[in-house]
Amino acid sequence: MRNVKQKVLIYSLSLVIIIVCVFPFYWAVVSSLKSGTDLFKVEFIPGNPAWRNYLEIFKEQPFGRNIFNSVVVAVGTVSLALFLAVTASYALGRVAFRGRTALLVTILAVSMFPQVAVLSGMFELIRAMGLYNNLLGLILSYMIITLPFTVWIMTTFMKQLPKEIEEAAIIDGANTWEICTKIFLPLLWPALVTTGLLAFIAAWNEFLFALTFTIEEKARTVPVAIALMTGASEYELPWGKIMAASVVVTLPLITLVLIFQRRIVSGLTAGAVKG
Amino acid sequence: MAKVIFKDVKKSFGKVEVIHNANLEIEDNEFTVFVGPSGCGKSTMLRLLSGLEDVTSGQIFIGDQDVTKLQPAKRKIAMVFQSYALYPHMTVYENIAFGLRITKYRKDEIHRRVMHAAEILQLNHLLDRQPKQLSGGQRQRVAIGRAIIRDPHVFLFDEPLSNLDASLRVQMRMQIAKLKEELKTTMIYVTHDQTEAMTLADKIVVLKDGNIEQVGKPLELYHHPRNKFVASFIGSPKMNFIEARISKIVGEEVTLDLPHDKNIVLPVSLPQGIKLEAGNTVDIGIRPEHITICDPKKALFTGDVQMVEHLGSEILAYVKIGWGQQVLVRLNGESIVKIGDHLTLCVEPNDCHLFDPKSELSFERHSKR
């Protein structure tokens, strides 16, 4: 009897959690299929789905361009951040030098600054470099924000790799670059996927910098574009279209996470048990 | 294929000096074993030679070349690690080939050499496996294969067998002995296991606290240990040390008083620079295998058995012999001994070692062995 009770409890609690997590997204999907006054009716499955919301977001503004921008910025940020993080973590994790711990703590401290605190400074930097209203400016600023986190995580993973493997490679005649790329990188693959995906999501969702550092519609990324969508009059918020856009930009993330799901899990537990 | 020379080598980690002025010559094609308790500096010596650590002062030569400042890869050495250190993401073939790929050998040449190494180590059927699919002994063979393929002038083994279980260890020990015959290369082997040292070595280097205590052939160390440490480290079970009082010294003969009013005359002479006279205490060293049960009239030691260990082929008996001392006796497996038995024990004077208790140096023995 106790067993059955326990199972019922576990499953009903899981159900509650799933509903709380999934319902907002479900509601977004439902709302994206409504237009006009339908929005104010409570319907769990829309009677006549308004697919045109999905078409209109691409017609009335350069939303395709915005998605492309987001992809460029996110991919650029991730590749740049991972490259720098791997090279930095090799130094921080495997080379003994004076002030290494101090440097690591500084990096951690930097990642705790709120974005708003660095916003004005970053704005000046971006302008001075002539990257205002330019995707490169966004890539640079996102990279600065994600780098401390990425470096910190990669350093932890790098430290866990056994020293003998590195020494064996040294004796085999590999130089530092070859050790990094041919020995460490394949072993760090799960960690790379995990940190890379987190950095990707952060860059994909970022709003404040994207709003501040761009002016034209063509240069905007998805979160800004969605926030600045307008309806027919200034008194109408086009919820249907906003929801449709949100669904469109969430799908790539979900796909990515599903593809790399197993990698993430193994990345989060790698090194926990000697294997 | 090369001589190895350590000349006035010192190594410090921070302020702690771990190798104090090591001077050592290893002949071409010699199998040398560095042995000592943990923390004695034997692995550090190997790492200095490999170039993974830099010397603080002094020079290291391989062949005729001064390699002190040379990169590890340019020293023409290969190393086998205790933890195998295989590249986990590569197959056995790739693991063995990696060193040659890095140094840009031709593909067919790499293939030929990998196959040759695999043949020597019987790895042919495992070439496609990944390290995680191999047993400990197989992994160690891959690690050795990775060393062979580089065709090194000097092979370095850093405790290669300590991660294996006992039966596998004996098997791998034989394989390494075979390898030594096949490759005819200078090999240096680090271990804390004196059995490995005794069975494999042409030359043993005993280290303690960063000092070289003695260098010599296995039997030389067994029969003529330079000091008490070497005497106790080489040989298993350990040598017994018994305190005794000098009753007189006449020329090259020392007479000693033993418990229960016995005495013994040993044909030895004092180590250089040591002065001892009648009344001083010295340590007699006797190996457990040299003590026998004999006629009570001839007995040097008598006492009651405190404990007995039956090992099948042999019996180890702990006997209390007076003056609060105990000796370990190694007896034939068929002997009948039990706790509480009174034993009368004999030793040949030729099998006794004498040590100065202060300097721990051994007295020179004038025996046939």
Say whether B81 sits in a helix, a strand or coil: coil
Q: Which of A164, A173, A183 sits opposite B73 (nearest CB)?
A: A173
| Prediction ipTM score | 0.82
Over the stretch B181-217, which tens digit does the pLDDT of each residue have?
888 899 999 999 888 899 999 999 999 999 999 999 9
Q: How many CB pairs under 8 A join A and B?
A: 55
Q: Which of A165, A171, A186 sits opposite B78 (nearest CB)?
A: A171
User: Above pLDDT 70, what percent of chain B?
Assistant: 99
Say whether A233 sits in a helix, a strand or coil: coil
Distance CA B234, CA A267 (A): 48
Which of A157, A164, A165, A172 to mutate to probe the B interface, most B CBs <10 Å?
Answer: A172
Distances (CA, A) of B311 to B79, B307, B330, B333, B334: 36, 13, 10, 7, 11
Domains, chain A, with CATH or none: 62-228 (1.10.3720.10)
Over the stretch B228-244, which tens digit does the pLDDT of each residue have?
999 999 988 899 998 88
Tokens (6 digits) for A121? 């400074």
Q: Which of A165, A167, A171 sits opposite B87 (nearest CB)?
A: A165
Of B294, B307, B304, nearest to B344 by C-alpha is B294
Over the stretch A173-186, which tens digit does the pLDDT of each residue have?
899 899 988 988 88
Q: What are the sequence ranges of the domains in chain B?
A: 4-233, 240-365
A171 vs B82: CB contact, 8 Å cut-off?
Answer: no
Say whether B157 sits in a helix, a strand or coil: strand
For B149, nearest residue in chain A (alpha carbons): A172
Residues of A numbered 107-166 whose beta carbons fall under 8 angstroms of chain B's beta carbons: which are they? 162, 164-165
Distance CA A8, CA A14 (A): 10
Query: pLDDT tens digits for chain B (369 residues)?
Result: 689 999 999 999 988 999 999 999 999 989 999 999 988 989 999 999 999 999 999 999 998 899 999 999 889 899 999 888 899 888 999 999 999 998 888 999 999 999 999 988 888 999 998 888 888 888 889 999 999 898 899 999 999 888 888 888 888 888 888 888 888 899 999 999 888 899 999 999 999 999 999 999 999 999 999 999 999 999 888 999 988 888 888 877 888 888 777 888 888 877 777 777 788 888 999 999 999 888 888 888 888 999 999 988 899 999 998 788 889 999 988 888 889 889 889 888 888 888 988 888 888 777 654
Q: Based on the number of CB atoms within 10 Å of its own CB, is A130 exposed (0-12), middle (13-18) or buried (19 or more)?
A: exposed
Give the per-residue SS3 of A98-129: CCHHHHHHHHHHHCCCCHHHHHHHHHHHHHHC
Tokens (6 digits) for A239? 């919820």
Tokens (6 digits) for B77? 């050495």
- Asked whether the bond before B237 is cis by omega within 30 degrees of 0, the reply is yes
Please give the CATH superfamily to which domain B4-233 belongs.
P-loop containing nucleotide triphosphate hydrolases (3.40.50.300)
Amino acid at A199: A
Q: Based on the number of CB atoms within 10 Å of its own CB, is B1 exposed (0-12), middle (13-18) or buried (19 or more)?
A: middle
Task: Kindly compute the dihedral angle of the four CA atoms of residues B35, B36, B40, B41, in this order, to the nearest 10 degrees.
Answer: 10
Place of tokens 């200095």: B48
A168 vs B73: CB contact, 8 Å cut-off?
Answer: no
Of B68, B360, B4, B9, nearest to B210 by C-alpha is B9
Q: Which of B73, B82, B132 sits opposite A170 (nearest CB)?
A: B73
Q: How far is B158 from chain A (nearest CA, A)?
A: 11
Amino acid at A81: A
Of B22, B350, B354, B367, nearest to B215 by C-alpha is B22
Most confident of A45-49, A70-74, A240-244: A70-74
Of B219, B222, B243, B244, nearest to B233 by C-alpha is B222
- A255, containing H or E segment: helix A239-269
Task: For domain B240-365, give the fold.
Answer: OB fold (Dihydrolipoamide Acetyltransferase, E2P) (2.40.50)
Q: Which residues of B touch A182 (CB under 8 A)?
A: 98, 102
Distance CA B157, CA B143 (A): 10
- Topology match between the domains B4-233 and B240-365: no
